A and B are shown apart, each in its own frame.
Chain A
Amino acid sequence: MSEGVWRLVEVFNYLVLVYFVLLHTIYLGTSLFAFGALKRYALRLKSLDLGGLITSSSAPPITLLAPAYNEEATVVESVRSLLTLEYPEYEILVVNDGSKDDTLGRLQQAFNLQEAHRVPTAELVSAEIRGVYRSRRHPHLWVIDKENGGKADALNAGLNHCQTPTFCAMDADSLVEPEALIRIVRPFMEDASTIAAGGVLRIANGCVVSQGRVVDVRMPKSFIAQLQVLEYLRAFLCGRMGWDALDSTLVISGAFGIFKRSIVVEAGGYSTDTVGEDMELVVRLHRHCREREIPYRIHFVPDPVAWTECPESVRVLGRQRERWQRGLYQSLMRHRVMLFNKKYGRAGLIAYPYFFFLEMLGPLIELLGYVSFTVTVLAGRADWPFVVAFLSVAVILGGALSLSAVALEELSFRRYPRVSDLIRLFGLALAENFGYRQLNAWWRLQGTIAAIRGKEGWGKMTRKGFATASPPEAT
């Protein structure tokens, strides 16, 4: 290679170094904001009387929308967990999105469903409804059976049948903790301008589940799942908590978030032409409210928990991450008008640029950086201070930041009580930087490329089902 090309490679190497430093500075910044916010929140929690809120008439009625597609392995256990929620007034709407397996049959058998009428209250576009059912045993449990149209389409069908001022979007395969609903709804009670709030997702793999509840929190046995425990801690406690402290929440997980129904319907419901309908909705709500000068707040609440089963095979995990990245790309490109646009407040000036440059374009820079670094080292053109700086920032610093997520968990909720779990989390924080992180960047790059090419669809996601401590409820 000519000297000019090497010069370009050298400049690029430095740019990658700057990218890593910037990325980690922002991670650390959000972690520090999260640290302050979690400390305040821990004190705030002490003065909350959840029992009082549950028994008072002040909590708004909620509809839980749980789309289900081929969830026969977990759907009954999940619905059972929803039926045990401690909340004064709520309905459950399970939307069977044209499942090809026996999801509907399992529900019919377990909850004694019978056909019923339920007239739509909104006209969001969704695939054809085949039938509406209501449980004889639990009158607040409804099942809508519809043609397959995807998760967003199923949520829209549920929204069309929602009769309460707020709704909770969730996955039918997640287990919501009994007090989670009253915890997540608190911002709606305290601040009338609240239009959405997101809760925390935690990994259920390895945990012991009984009667729809996680009764013993344990680290998963699978190494891939263990790495995801750490990732989720980092994403929720460092990332989302930090962005919330900056009043710039752009993502509420589709597996557990609560919304004001009227504003979501007004904004057009869920977008059916993206696989990242959860993020797209939140970004659109920012736009909708800002453009119409509607006062609004979008919150992240760190203690309501929904447990979810994560992939344990590399192939399924890869598909999931590729899809997440496509969703991110589609959401950001659709609302690119927000980029550095002060009209959209902090969401447009801080959060959107972060997601655009560091989350969306980051994998490309990161992977090219690894290649360029390797080439430079192999050609003997790298001086040792650069090598040390690159490795520090690309590997060791990433691990150290993951450790901060473990620290935040210790500061706040301590869901993994065993000392061995803490030690394992520390080990994972270092281990994930040797291969897993690079693999993740590769999947995400594939996702970006697929999104640019216009790929659609979710890909196959198989569920094992939860490890139960006792036999299922007799039907």
Chain B
Amino acid sequence: MLLTDVVRALELTVADTALLVISGVIIALFGVTILFSVYAVALRYRHEQRDRLWADLRARWEGPLLDAIADPAAIPTVQSLVDEEHRLYFVNFVLEFSRRMRGGELAVLRTVVAPFLEEIGRRASHPNSQVRTRAMQTLGTLGLPAYEKHVLAGLDDPSPLVSFVAARYLARAEFPQYGRAVLDSVSRFDGANFRFLASMLASIGPTISPELRARLADSERPEWERAVIAEALMMQREPRAGDVAAEVLGQTEDRELSIRLLRLLGTVGRREHLEAIRARSTTDDVFVRAQALSAMGRLGDERDLPVLIAGMDDDSPWVALHAARGIREAGGRGVLFELAQTELGYAALAGQVLYEEPEP
């Protein structure tokens, strides 16, 4: 409206009007970019100030903190060096330090930082999800079990990132009491990578294994969740998971779950599970077939070699590769050596697998 009035009052032509509009946009763009530049200079100034402060604080705290780790009697000394306004800096300093510490040393750090965590506890319910995430990380590393209520509440946070970080810090062997809560929260992370989730569950330690086995057997649970659990059991090398894996393998048609079960059986299975595995060695799915041959190799013996040798001629290079590795695992190095000397199409594959280091 204002522009129309201006155009009418000044009796501007179309070209002048266009120029006026464009000039307005240019001035606006210019203004924003100038703000950016001023912001850059201000940021540089602020960063340099903060870096100087950090360097001073580090120099003040590092020696006494190392003394406290060596002798816990020195804990009050290091705590007395923390001013009111630098409490958060101190928590961040200890958090950074804690990444290099384990066991008793970490326990000392938790004691040192305990009086300063109250503010972090308040930040666990901050409106900004990134601040809450950081609070979960800090409390999860330095504040358990005192702040367990805050971190456990983080599992139900509306932000997936906050709940994810909370779960990662609760999933630790030193705090087995939180294992079940973490396991219950897994259904929230259905978009995450299998391996990532499985690794998190495995890190809870052996106390969670019976619950993992029970949930793997529970056909009411989503198949992707059971696949994650199977992978976690494989990472834990849980020896009692073989029976339930073989049983579930006989019931499921789900591709991902079948693959994870076969990987699990290949790691912890026994010879009596071979029948369930063999049944999958002729399936149409390339990756299920490959895992089946791999598991057969690990559990089988010379009697399984003909199937594995035939697998080396499979149309899929993945099946052939797993079959060849299976032969090696089944004690067929001699067979591979002989195959490598032939003119057969898979002679090179035999040579490659002989040369490889066996998987751990």
B-binding residues in A (CB < 8 A):
10, 14, 17-18, 21, 24-25, 28, 31-32, 35, 40, 43-44, 46-47, 49, 51-52, 56-60, 116-122, 134, 139, 163, 188-193, 385-386, 389, 392-393, 396-397, 400-401, 403-404, 406-407, 409-411, 414, 419, 422, 426
Contact = CB atoms under 8 A, between A and B. Distances in A.
A118 B37 contact: no
B52 interface: no
B36 interface: yes
Given A43-B134, A403-B34, 7 more contacts: A10-B15, A21-B26, A46-B134, A57-B202, A119-B348, A190-B164, A397-B30
B23 A385 contact: yes
A61 to B, nearest CB: 10
Nearest to B165: A47
Given A14-B15, A56-B203, A389-B23, A44 B133 contact: yes
Interface stretch (B65-73, B112-120, B327-335, B351-359): B351-359
A383 to B, nearest CB: 9
Contact of B199 (A56, A119, A120): A56
A258 to B, nearest CB: 13
A18 B40 CA distance: 28
Contacts of B357: 139
Contacts of A21: 22, 25-26, 29
A51 B134 CA distance: 16
A396 B193 contact: no
B271 interface: no
Contacts of A18: 22
Interface in B317-360: 317-318, 320-321, 346, 348-349, 351-352, 355, 357
Contacts of B161: 44
Contacts of B348: 117, 119
A43 B130 contact: yes
Instruction: Say which size band chain B's interface belongs to.
Output: 35 or more
Contacts of B16: 385
B131 interface: yes
Contacts of B203: 56
B64 to A, nearest CB: 24
Q: Which secondary structure dominates where chain A touches chain B?
A: helix
B99 interface: yes
A51 B137 CA distance: 14
B36 A190 contact: no
A70 to B, nearest CB: 29
Given A10-B15, A47-B134, A392-B30, A60 B195 contact: yes
B178 interface: no
Given A58-B200, A192-B193, A121 B321 contact: yes
B33 A401 contact: yes
Nearest to B92: A46
The 10 A-B residue pairs with the shortest CB-CB distance in the complex, in nearest-first order? A400-B33, A407-B40, A58-B199, A43-B130, A117-B352, A404-B36, A403-B37, A117-B351, A58-B196, A189-B196
Contacts of A193: 191
Contact of B29 (A24, A35, A57): A24
Contacts of A163: 321
Contacts of B30: 392, 396-397, 400
Given A49-B137, A189-B193, A28 B15 contact: no
Given A57-B235, A119-B321, A406 B355 contact: no
A116 B200 CA distance: 37
Contact of A40 (B39, B130, B321): B130
Given A43-B131, A47-B133, A406 B40 contact: yes
B192 interface: yes
Contact of A28 (B18, B32, B44): B32
B33 A28 contact: yes
Nearest to B16: A385
5 contacts: A25-B29, A192-B191, A400-B30, A403-B33, A410-B39
Nearest to A385: B19
A362 B348 CA distance: 52
Contacts of B193: 58, 60, 188-192
Contacts of A60: 193, 195
B194 interface: yes
A191 B191 contact: yes
Contacts of A190: 164, 192-193, 196
A121 B357 CA distance: 18
Contacts of B130: 40, 43-44, 47
Given A47-B137, A60-B193, A192-B194, A397 B33 contact: yes
Choose among A119, A134, A188, A386 the residue with the greatest number of B CB atoms under 10 Å from its CB: A119
B86 to A, nearest CB: 17
Interface string B120-140: 000000000011011011000
A392 B355 contact: no
Interface string B194-232: 111011101100000000000000000000000000000
A389 B317 contact: no
Contacts of B196: 58, 189-190
Given A44-B130, A397-B29, A389 B19 contact: yes
Contacts of B23: 385, 389
B22 A17 contact: yes
A40 B130 CA distance: 7
Nearest to B131: A43
A117 B37 CA distance: 56
A188 B191 CA distance: 10
B195 A118 contact: no
A43 B123 CA distance: 14
Given A192-B194, A403-B36, A407-B37, A119 B317 contact: yes
A320 to B, nearest CB: 28
B134 A410 contact: no
B47 interface: yes
Contacts of A422: 40-41, 44
Nearest to A187: B193
